[in-house]
């Protein structure tokens, strides 16, 4: 098989790298779409978040009209069909951004829930999510990371091979017989970017879970108990 010729050249004036394949230069772009996710060149996920925001924004006027004619139990289904999938898709990656970037989307989600539930601006935010048994964007991100952690710990055959040895337990790092020996080892981090690295963030979230929740082997039971735990956390934090 003949491989295309690939050349890299450094442009001193702009301090950028040119990629040339078979004589054709591949132009640098600020973002691109892959599997429905907009990946930007700085991995800030602003473009993808903006894309979701405008997708959901169009539902505000529709939901105002719909809520007057449809029972609340049906409106809950409407939320799960038209809003929730857009928030959930790829939230493991785009949710790992700065809170200021995702705040606009979180507030829009609150607004959509208020509309569907006939609530005012004074309504308590946690009650909006409890009513529809769902979670805010930031906690949806944590939920999906913890579900991945559960699969790695209890069902490693269900995750890509990359993740099987992605994390290690404390007992593999030291031999001390401590209460946390079965917890995930938390690497030492010195930068703000490191705090968002999955190798640090997932172990931190996992280790903070109650012991009985971490020991739950059934994935479905774990998901249900995890949602209840995160909803309780949301209510206590507010």
Whole-angstrom distance, CA of residue 222 vs CA of residue 227? 8
Query: What range defines the domain where residue 230 resides?
Result: 140-237
- One domain, residues 111 and 152: no
Confidence of residue 55 (pLDDT cuts 50, 70, 90): very high
- One domain, residues 103 and 85: yes
- What are 141-198's pLDDT values in tens digits? 999 999 999 998 899 888 888 777 777 766 555 555 555 566 777 777 777 777 778 8
Taking the model in full, what pTM does it have? 0.82
- What are 64-91's pLDDT values in tens digits? 999 989 888 899 999 999 999 999 999 9
| Structure confidence at residue 168 (pLDDT) | 72
pLDDT over 70, % of the chain: 86
**How many structural domains comprise the chain?**
2
| Structure confidence at residue 20 (pLDDT) | 82
Domain boundary, last residue among 132, 153, 176 = 132
User: Which of 8-17, 101-110, 225-234 has the lowest average pLDDT?
Assistant: 8-17
* 19 is a domain residue: no
- One domain, residues 222 and 186: yes
- What are 92-110's pLDDT values in tens digits? 999 999 889 999 999 999 9
- One domain, residues 114 and 192: no
């Amino acid at each position: 098989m003949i491989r295309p010729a690939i050349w890299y050249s450094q442009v001193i004036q702009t301090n950028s790298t040119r990629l040339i394949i078979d004589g054709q230069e591949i132009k640098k772009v600020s973002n691109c779409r892959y599997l429905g996710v907009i990946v930007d060149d700085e991995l800030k996920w602003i473009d993808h978040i903006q894309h979701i925001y405008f997708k959901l924004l169009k539902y505000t006027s529709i939901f105002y009209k719909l809520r007057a004619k449809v029972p609340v139990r049906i409106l809950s289904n409407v939320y799960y069909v038209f809003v929730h999938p857009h928030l959930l898709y790829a939230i493991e990656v785009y949710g790992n951004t700065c809170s200021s970037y995702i705040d606009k989307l979180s507030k829009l989600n609150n607004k959509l829930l208020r509309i569907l539930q006939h609530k005012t601006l004074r309504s308590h935010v946690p009650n909006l999510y409890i009513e529809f048994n769902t979670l805010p964007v930031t906690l949806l991100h944590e939920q999906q990371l913890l579900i991945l952690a559960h699969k790695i710990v209890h069902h490693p055959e269900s995750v890509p091979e990359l993740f099987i040895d992605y994390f290690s337990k404390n007992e593999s790092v030291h031999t001390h017989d401590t209460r946390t020996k079965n917890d995930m080892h938390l690497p030492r981090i010195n930068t703000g970017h490191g705090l968002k690295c999955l190798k640090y963030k997932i172990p931190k979230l996992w280790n903070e879970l109650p012991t009985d929740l971490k020991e739950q082997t059934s994935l479905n039971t774990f998901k249900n108990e995890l949602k209840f735990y995160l909803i309780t956390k949301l209510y206590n934090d507010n």
